[in-house]
Homo-oligomer: A and B are copies of this chain.
């Protein structure tokens, strides 16, 4: 991919200009995929239908709860950008969202989460049993949908992602509460549990559009690095953003004992006393411990540097798109990077 000439209007727009866009703005991406996304929403409702009432009830709880649907939007935008003319991008985007929803349902059970997107989690309302099984159902439906497109290459990408995601979750489980986790080990976890689905979502559109391997790889690289950036910003946001400030939705990761990058950094940079604090307090409830934790994150620039790391992956995502032709779709995908990394302010 090196050696390709980047069009001038591209070079002019990137990279600082994008960061000046208002945080939380993915208006261009949303506008481009609006019609397709409406079809995805209809497909979601139709595929979550079942004679077993509990299934549409639980699926609806998650589906209506205001997720951004970033992943299916990536699939749609990438397919459009590659000039795809059929209907399979709708089916694949729906599959991607179902895989994501299934993961959320299982994650809540694994994490004992009480809340999800500001509402009671499904497991709190319907129990762990139903969350596990409805997750399995959505995963099954996701596979049925993929199969119906008849694209073995897309199937390979998405089924690989399903395995890798689960493997990443198990890895996270076995490293849980391990404060000696290195940054590389942590990256491996989020590369599997988050970036793999972003990568698959970005890739399947070009695949069904019959694009060259190099184009498919460019989208894969974009999606994967966008996913890493997205997850790292999420980790920083869990402590209130780039400078730690306690809020009503902060501290979940701390209370659940999750060793995310901010903690990895603060732990390594801290004194013996600080490390003793992390060891005795991570995974405990209580505002006092969380206050001390956030002050340590601040003192050692752990959140600001987590955001800086996220920006690094954002830049990689940007460069992944460089060989692709300029236009409104490319601009929208660049905007998505800015959106993901700007959330932490």
Contacts and interface: CB of A to CB of B under 8 A. Distances in A.
A128 B130 contact: no
Of the listed residues A54, A132, A155, the one surrounded by the most CB atoms of chain B closer than 10 A to its CB is A132
Contacts of A144: 156, 159-160, 162-163
Of the listed residues A51, A133, A150, A174, the one surrounded by the most CB atoms of chain B closer than 10 A to its CB is A133
Contacts of A162: 136, 139-140, 143-144
Given A132-B106, A133-B106, A170-B130, A150 B147 contact: no
A128 B156 contact: no
Contact of A137 (B52, B55, B163, B174): B163
Identical copies of this chain, number = 2
A134 interface: yes
Question: How extensive is the interface on chain A, given as a class?
Answer: 35 or more
Given A128-B109, A155-B147, A156-B147, A170 B140 contact: no
B170 A54 contact: yes
Contacts of A171: 51-52
A129 interface: yes
A173 B140 contact: no
A42 to B, nearest CB: 19
B133 A170 contact: yes
B174 A159 contact: no
A170 B139 contact: no
Contacts of A285: none
A166 B133 contact: yes
A276 interface: no
Interface in A95-152: 106, 109-110, 128-130, 132-134, 136-137, 139-141, 143-144, 146-148, 150, 152
A190 B188 CA distance: 40
Contacts of A170: 50, 52, 54-55, 130, 133-134, 137
Interface in A294-322: none
A291 interface: no
A216 B155 CA distance: 24
Given A133-B106, A165-B140, A52 B159 contact: no
A341 B174 CA distance: 43
Given A132-B132, A133-B173, A159-B140, A167 B109 contact: no
A136 B50 contact: no
Interface of A: 50-55, 106, 109-110, 128-130, 132-134, 136-137, 139-141, 143-144, 146-148, 150, 152, 155-156, 159-160, 162-167, 169-171, 173-174
29 contacts: A50-B170, A52-B167, A53-B174, A54-B170, A54-B173, A106-B132, A109-B109, A109-B129, A109-B132, A110-B132, A110-B133, A128-B128, A133-B170, A136-B139, A137-B170, A139-B162, A140-B159, A140-B163, A140-B164, A140-B165, A140-B167, A141-B163, A143-B143, A143-B159, A144-B156, A144-B159, A147-B152, A148-B156, A150-B152
| Top 4 A-B residue pairs of the complex, sorted by shortest distance between their CB atoms | A140-B163, A140-B162, A137-B166, A136-B166
Given A55-B167, A136-B162, A141-B163, 14 more contacts: A53-B174, A54-B174, A106-B133, A110-B129, A110-B132, A133-B169, A133-B173, A137-B163, A137-B167, A139-B166, A140-B162, A143-B155, A143-B163, A147-B156
